[in-house]
Every structure is written in C-alpha cells, then in structure tokens.
Chains A and B, each alone.
Chain A
C-alpha cells in the first residue's frame, strides 16, 4: 500500500506538488493521470525518496520514506522512465544486480532472476548484452528488474510510452497478473485509454494537485459525462497534454 499525505514540493518557482494526498491499495491498479507537467513524475520520485517533500509525507506499507528510506524502498519496485538499462550487461546480469540491491543474496537473486526471465519470456535474450535491444525487449528487461524481488508495491512511470502494441499488451497482462496476486500497483500515465482499460482507481492530477479520484465509472458519474475523456477534460479544464 502506498499512501501519500499532504505532499507539497516547490521546484524552483513552480509549485510542483500542492498538498497532494492519495492512497494506492494492495490488489488494485492505481493510475496517476495528468497532463505533462502536472507533477506525476515529481510525485513518484518523492515516493521513492529521491526528492524531499517540503511538507507532507509518503508511506510505503506504513513506512515513512523520508524517515526510513532503505526499509521503505525494500517494499518497492520501480519501472522507470526512461528505463536506465546498462547496455553492456545482459538482462540476466542486470536483473540479478538489482535483485541483490533490493536485498536478495546472490543465490536468491539468481533464482529470482531465472524465474522472472521465464515469466516474461525473456529467455531468448537473457544472455545477450542489452545494447541494440528493441523497445519491447528493453521494456521487458526493465519490468523484470522492477518485479524480480517480488515487491509488494510496484510503481511504473509512463510504462507504455514508446511501446508497440504487442509490448503494451504484454505489459497489461502482466499488471493484471500482479494485481490478482495482491500487489499494489501505481502507475503514471498521460494516456487515457490505458488508464481506462487497466485501472481500478484513477487519480487525476493537475498543477500538483489531485483534482479527482475514483474508479473510471465514478469519475464519469462525478462529472456527469459519459466518457472518461470528457470527464477528464471537465476535471482539468483542458485536454492539453493528454493523449486519447
């Protein structure tokens, strides 16, 4: 479970987060939807303790990230944007490395890596260096890295950006899988379709604030619009920066 309470953060002169609060529950997929510049990435980085909030706090399974970053991060898996691959390592080395960083010992890391490679059908590229991988292969590798240590909470930053259709589908299936296994999944996106298709709960952000939250249906109801798209435009006042 990821809980964000009253987060505020100023970057330069911009109020990037403004009294932001929401909760992402276990066994649910929570979408952070907002136009570019709404503060999604800043929010996620704060959750990871990479940025310090001016006020408020972020908790992972009840652990304050700012106070106990190591323990908190132990419960997290991150699928970053961009992926941050090490091109000279093979996926197996890459995944295993981060597994160890997440607290597994070498042996465990190896086993977990093998499992996740199997799970994501990465076996054919697992021992090739990442250099020259297609976008889909990169995505899978990054994803494997995020879930190899089976964290209770998985955060995905714009996971479908630049993905082809097939990859996007794989990703969706996987997220559904993880959800049914009881993981808490939080992802940010500016693609409405994706959010609509996947999310149990949507948090709509604009200018660093939560402007609405609820299931896609609830949001439609709140705004009295038939489609999420309309609801969204209604919520943030514009459709700029949002992809259909």
Chain B
C-alpha cells in the first residue's frame, strides 16, 4: 500500500519538477520575495536614516555662533554656508531670532524656529536628531547657568526615569521580521499551489484522473500521495526561501536602524517544524478547492481568493494590534509563535500546540472531504 503511495509521490514530483509553471511559481516567490524585501529595505534604510553629515538651512547663524558650532560638532551643518557644489541640503530650516543674543544675555529664553515637514518620512529622523541636539544644548546651558549661580543642576532634574526595555536587538526588528516570517509562511501556500492545481484540476483536464482511478489503488492512497507531493513542494519552497532569506538579509545594513534581522540555523529549524502542519493544511486546502473547480483556470481563480484568508491571518498576526484570539488560530498562531521565538520571548507553547492541532484538524477534515469527493462521480467526471 505504502509502495503505491510512494510510486505516485515519485511520479508527481518528477512530473512537477518538469513543469516549468509549478517550479517557477515556487522559485520566483522563494527567491524573489526575500530579494525584493532586501532591496526595499536597503532603499528605505538609506532614506530613513539621518546622514552622518546632516546639512540643513540655518538662518541668521551669526546671532548664535556657539549654537551653530555645537550643532556642527554633532554633524549638523549649515548647508547654506557651504560652498561645496552639489551638497545635499535637507529641507529643514532653523531660524535664529534677531534678539537671540539679548535674550541669552539676560538669562531669558532665546528663540529658535524649526521649520520642516514632519510628515516627510525621509526627514523625520533628521528632524528628531536636530531637536535632540537643540535640547542637549539647552540643557547644557541650563545646567551651566545654574552652576554659575551656585546651584546644583540636579535640583531641576527631579525625576530620573530609568527605562528597562525588554526588547532585544532581534526583537526590535519585530515588524520587519514579522513581515519576513509572513513571507515565509506564505511560501508554503505559494510554492505548492501550481502543483496542487496541476495534479487535481489539471489531472482531470488531461483525462488522466479516470485512468488513475481505474487502477487498483484506493482513493485514500491517491489523496495521500497528492497531499504528500504538494506538501513536499511547499516545504521545499519554504526551505528555499529560508536559505535565500538567510543569505540576502545578511546584506541589509539593519544595524543602521538599531536592530538585527538574523536568520540563524535554529530559527530555520523551528520555522520548518512549525511550517510543516501549515504546509499540510495548505496542500489539503489547495487540492480540495482545485478538485472542486472544473478547469485549471477556474482553480487558479478560486485559490487566489481562498489564499487571501491565511494571508490576512498571518499579516494581522504580524502586527501587535492583533487581537489575542489570533494566537489560537491556524496560521496566525504559528506566525505569532515564530515572532515570539525571534524576539527571544518564550514561545507560547499552548497556543502553538492549539493552532497547530487546529491546522492539522483542518487538513484532516479536508483530506476526508477530498477522499469522499474522489468517490463522487460528479467530481471525477465533472458530470
């Protein structure tokens, strides 16, 4: 009995491996997605981070030479004063009030005006960096003014706020990792999809399904072999995207965002283990839906819609705003457990177990449904 399943699995894999459409779909996704994400993030990082030398427009700089020098010492330069051609000057304007020296001399507050578009993501980091430096300058001057008056500056800093951030360098990359994990889980669905369609709707379209069923095999064997084949393909896709991700993500300068995105071997193993039930469910779902469809094309359009569901679950789970119930559900449960793992938190084992069992439960139910439907004359002959 097992032999027949193996025979069919072998044939499916050979057949699928020669099917450019099946292979390419998986390959494109598994290779393309990490590369695309890397490209995207490399671009984002270069745009989001503030350059070492931040050039801004400082107006009226001769009213506050010390402030200008202070800013320059932290790399914030007055681009307007530079004669370097082609110098990139950010659209950030710092205007020093005309009465700045008077106000300072009197021990009052001197006004500087910061003009910039804070909704411009490319400027946000630079703006907050400038604000921070202005704040630092102000608090340094404030302290020294107090010292000059014989007062300990600590008296005006009554609160010492100690922050213990439980994030790790890995967990700070959570959102990005969440999305990376999503792309991996989704690989399980994408990689096997074409094979699933080809081996079901396609099989019928080629008229080979009836021939298969005319042989001394049980529908169980047939269903099992198809699920196994699609699952193998899905897992291969997952393994591939893991490997490509591991290599590709290493090239992205995540550290510039202050965190790491590490795809290490232990994560890869966990991902494969957790992804396995999802792969089975994906295979069962796709086969089930495809068998319901009359043709390859129809199956494709059905599946595109059906796959929105796991995508929505996984995506929702990759953001912290997700409701707690998501961690018990298939796909989203695994997604959250994997995110907990990369963030170095404890894996919610109970939730993971429940969602994995639910995943397997769905897979099993669909397998039963599939087995029944293959006994149905309607499904087999499309009557």
Task: Let me know if B211 and A84 touch, CB within 8 A.
Answer: yes
Find the A residue at minimum CB distance from B4: A101
Q: Is A76 an interface residue (CB 8 A)?
A: yes
Q: Is A221 an interface residue (CB 8 A)?
A: no
CA distance A12 to B383 in the complex (A): 9
A50-B208 contact in complex given A100-B3, A105-B3, C-beta closer than 8 Å = no
CB of B188, distance to nearest CB on chain A (Å): 24
CB of A139, distance to nearest CB on chain B (Å): 14
Task: Let me know if A100 and B211 touch, CB within 8 A.
Answer: no
Q: Is B8 an interface residue (CB 8 A)?
A: yes
CA distance A63 to B208 in the complex (A): 25
Interface residues on B, range: 20 to 34
Task: Let me know if B218 and A70 touch, CB within 8 A.
Answer: yes
CA distance A52 to B381 in the complex (A): 13
Question: Which residues of chain B come closer than 8 Å to A100, judged between CB atoms?
Answer: 3-4, 7
Q: Is A82 an interface residue (CB 8 A)?
A: yes
Task: Let me know if B216 and A80 touch, CB within 8 A.
Answer: no
CB of B228, distance to nearest CB on chain A (Å): 16
The stretch of A86-94, A113-121, A169-177, A227-235 that contacts the partner chain: A86-94
Task: Let me know if B210 and A88 touch, CB within 8 A.
Answer: no
Task: Let me know if B214 and A76 touch, CB within 8 A.
Answer: yes
Question: Which residues of chain A come closer than 8 Å to B3, judged between CB atoms?
Answer: 100, 105
A74-B19 contact in complex given A50-B210, A84-B206, A100-B3, C-beta closer than 8 Å = no
Question: Which residues of chain A come closer than 8 Å to B383, judged between CB atoms?
Answer: 11-12
Q: Is B345 an interface residue (CB 8 A)?
A: no
CB of B12, distance to nearest CB on chain A (Å): 10
Question: Which residues of chain B come closer than 8 Å to A102, judged between CB atoms?
Answer: 215-216
Task: Let me know if A80 and B207 touch, CB within 8 A.
Answer: yes
Choice from A50, A51, A101, A129 contacting B7 with Cβ under 8 Å = A101
A97-B11 contact in complex given A84-B208, A85-B208, C-beta closer than 8 Å = yes
Residues of A within 8 A of B (CB): 11-12, 45, 48-52, 69-74, 76, 78, 80, 82-89, 93, 97-98, 100-103, 105-106, 129, 145
